[in-house]
Amino acid sequence: MKALYTAATGMTAQQMRIENISNNLANVSTVGFKKSRANFEDLLYQNLSTGSVSQTQTRVSTLQSGSGVRMGSLVKEFTMGDITSTNNTYDFAIAGRGFFVVQMPDGTEAFSRNGQFGVNAEGELVTQAGLVVSPGIEIPRDVQTVRATEDGTLQAVYKGDPNPITIGQLRVVDFMNPSGLQALGGNLFIASPESGLPLVMDSMDGLRVQQGFLESSNVDVAEELVNMIVAQRAFEMTSKAVESSDQMMQTVNALKR
């Protein structure tokens, strides 16, 4: 029976939805994490009749039978998470749109909303994974403190000298379609044909870098729990369709004996 295979597609789709919800909830405490939303689409339709013609007019009454459902896409939602204070000199948050740029080991660029930075043994500003933050800012060893302006400019203040010295500027970029970015894991994304090329942001674009703050994930726990309940009930209903089809097949087999 076709109903068995149609219901099976629904069960598979809801299983994948639960997996996505689980990933969102698992990363509820991940700095800069962006949740994903599952989008579904119906499958191929089969025409069971081509229509009928009456004496007065041509009337098309096509009967179509659907083949089920599948997950069409997983879309990242880049809504902003809550910004929390850490009072850490090398913690940065972007208030609004934009991504920090980091250098991958192979020389390519990746992009992140996670501003948990630090300083390596060479004095370079790096991510928690040790990736160099673009454009390669070196923090002087004898500096007393480092300040950041809202446009991402880093200034070093030395002991006994009240005048700060600019040592570099954080590179922040944006995309025409951030949802088209490809996730790599580790809070990193790379550009794709769907996202477009990175566009460098400045103060004229409303760039606001906040020092001593971090952006939390944008996962709404209550919303995800509701989505999980809906997916679970949908899975149960499609499994009931499998049971009903099985009972109908049992009845037919019993009649054939």
> From residue 100, how far is each of 9, 109, 234 by CA, in Å?
40, 10, 39
The helix (run of H) or strand (run of E) holding residue 12 is helix 2-26
Residue 56: its pLDDT value, please?
Answer: 58
- Contact status, residue 139 vs residue 119, Cβ threshold 8 Å: yes
- Mind listing the pLDDT tens digit for each residue in 63-115? 778 888 988 888 999 999 999 999 999 999 999 899 999 999 998 999 999 99
Residue 246: its pLDDT value, please?
Answer: 80
Whether 223 has a pLDDT exceeding 60, the answer reads yes
| pTM, entire model | 0.83
One domain for residues 36 and 68: yes
One domain for residues 88 and 210: yes
- Mind listing the pLDDT tens digit for each residue in 142-167? 888 999 999 899 999 888 777 888 99
- Contact status, residue 234 vs residue 6, Cβ threshold 8 Å: no
How many CA atoms are closer than 13 Å to the CA of 182, on its beta-carbon side?
10
One domain for residues 161 and 244: no
In the structure, what pLDDT confidence band is assigned to residue 52 with cuts at 50, 70 and 90?
A: low
Residue 207: its pLDDT value, please?
Answer: 86
Which amino acid is located at 4 in the chain?
L
Last residue of a domain, one of 182, 197, 214: 214
Domain span holding position 40: 2-77+219-256
One domain for residues 209 and 225: no
One domain for residues 106 and 8: no
C-alpha torsion sign, points 30, 118, 179, 183: negative
Contacts by 227-233, CB closer than 8 A, 24 or more apart? 227/17, 227/21, 228/18, 228/21, 231/14, 231/17, 231/18, 231/21, 232/14, 232/18
- Contact status, residue 93 vs residue 210, Cβ threshold 8 Å: yes
Instruction: Give the DSSP letter of residue 226.
Output: H
Q: How many domains does the chain have?
A: 2
Pairing label, strands 109-112, 145-148: unpaired
Nearest alpha-carbon partner for 117 in 97, 96, 103: 103
One domain for residues 43 and 155: no
